[in-house]
Structure 1
Amino acid sequence: MPETVLVEPQYLPPIEFFCAALHASEILIEAEEHYTKQTYRNRCYIRGANKILPLSIPVVNGNSKVLTKEVKIDHDQRWANEHWRSIQSAYGKAPYYEFFSDYFEREFQKRHKFLIDHNQNMLTICLKLLKLQKSVERTKIYHKTVESAILDLRGRISPKEDYTKRQIYQPVEYIQVFGKDFAANLSIIDLLMNEGPNALTIVTKSLNKE
């Protein structure tokens, strides 16, 4: 297995992201690419009372000519409060909400200038709660292709395409607060709030072995 996974910064990434990075010792965040809209870079999906909810972070300058590391969060919109309220509504009654909620709430209150900083901090929190010890670094130079020791996942884990097309993640069901039918590949926060210490076991079992 590769020691390093190269991937774009994602906002509270889906379970699939952690399956892909499970056996790597380092997650290398691509900071030097051009930003792409309608991706996990600024959105995640959680399970609300009546439907799957997309949470999208508004950005100021998210056009294709801006580097990922330069994309700024639009704090003129009250997105952080809205996102946190949605998370509270979705997971307030989840078994591990009271244990994990403070970690995320504090991060929403920080008002990071750049999207990449917010995403990296959220990723670090998720890795900590999963008890996954991995270094998280950023690229300094953009390389179109990378050496074979690095697993290049840039652009692969996308909400535009069903996860079944990628053969990274194979759903293992767990009890979710809302809904009769299991919703696969939601944000890792769904798994953490519902399964707590068992979340890493679910991620491990969800890794497609084929």
Structure 2
Amino acid sequence: MSGEKKSAFIDVSYLPPLEYFSAILDCSDLLIDEHAIFQKQSAFNRTTILLSNKVELLSIPVFGSRKRQLYRDVKIDYSQKWMQVHLRGIQSAYGKAPFFEFFFPDLENEFLKKPAFLWDFNWGLLTLCLQLAQINISIKKNIVYSQEEDLEDLRFLTRDKAVFSTRNYYQPHSYSQLFGADFVPNLSIIDLLFCEGPSTKRILELSRKKTLNNQ
């Protein structure tokens, strides 16, 4: 794997999957697209965790977004009890995981801040997950993107609905999950954090596609 660092232009999404983190692992800094247009039923407000009998989709309700509304202007709907449902689901899924007691309080604190805007909520969660995974990447906002800049554009990771196997960033490297005989790939980063703790970064490195590792 090349030690050369790069910058990437990317969206901030809700507790992103492992493909997202595999793609940014060699980045020195991320420039978050603050001018993204919100997409309904997307990774902007959805993530997946592993329960005892299924993969569960967690979705954050938002107030009715207008056509071509800026993602940063989308407000979270706290009148629905989604936050309690998500926290209970995470506790049910990972309460017995080896590193749950170490990481869950910090995660819960991010939820309890209850920021008004989805973009701010996801920003805080991404910052926390990078810290817990011991991945040293600077993230910046309020950036105007220029095509002339030497950036890798990774925004398609959250906007395209293609499965990870059709792209060039993530190949599943199994680790110990709590449920099921078969490994479930590309869940939210919290699945890996709660199950593997300080080994998270190493497993992400092993999960990067060989085409990237050989560059």
TM-score normalised to the size of structure 1? 0.94
2:24 maps to 1:26:
no
Alignment-derived partner of residue 112 in structure 1: 115
Alignment-derived partner of residue 160 in structure 1: 161
What is the total number of aligned residue pairs between the two structures?
A: 208
1:148 positional shift: 5.4
**Which aligned segments of 4 or more residues in structure 1 are displaced greater than 4 angstroms?**
none
Q: CA RMSD in A?
A: 1.5
Query: Structure 2: how far apart are the matches of 1:118 and 1:153?
Result: 20
Stretches of structure 2 that go unaligned for 5 or more consecutive residues are none
1:106 positional shift: 0.7
Structure 1 residues 157-197: Cα deviation after superposition (integer angstroms, max 9, x where no partner): 45732100112101100010111110000000000000001
Alignment-derived partner of residue 207 in structure 1: 208
In structure 2, the CA distance between the partners of 1:148 and 1:207, relative to structure 1 (3 Å rule), is farther
TM-score normalised to the size of structure 2? 0.92
2:185 maps to 1:184:
yes
Q: What is the one-letter code of the residue matched to 1:53?
A: E
Quote the sequence identity (%).
42
Structure 1 residues 104-124: Cα deviation after superposition (integer angstroms, max 9, x where no partner): 011111111000111010001
1:139 positional shift: 3.7
Query: Structure 1: how far apart are the matches of 2:6 and 2:157?
Result: 18
Q: What is the one-letter code of the residue matched to 2:172?
A: P
Structure 1 residues 74-95: Cα deviation after superposition (integer angstroms, max 9, x where no partner): 1111111110000000000001
2:136 maps to 1:133:
yes
Task: Give the conservation status (yes or no) of the 8 Å contact 2:20–2:157.
Answer: no
Alignment-derived partner of residue 172 in structure 1: 173
Structure 1 residues 59-83: Cα deviation after superposition (integer angstroms, max 9, x where no partner): 1133432101111101111111110
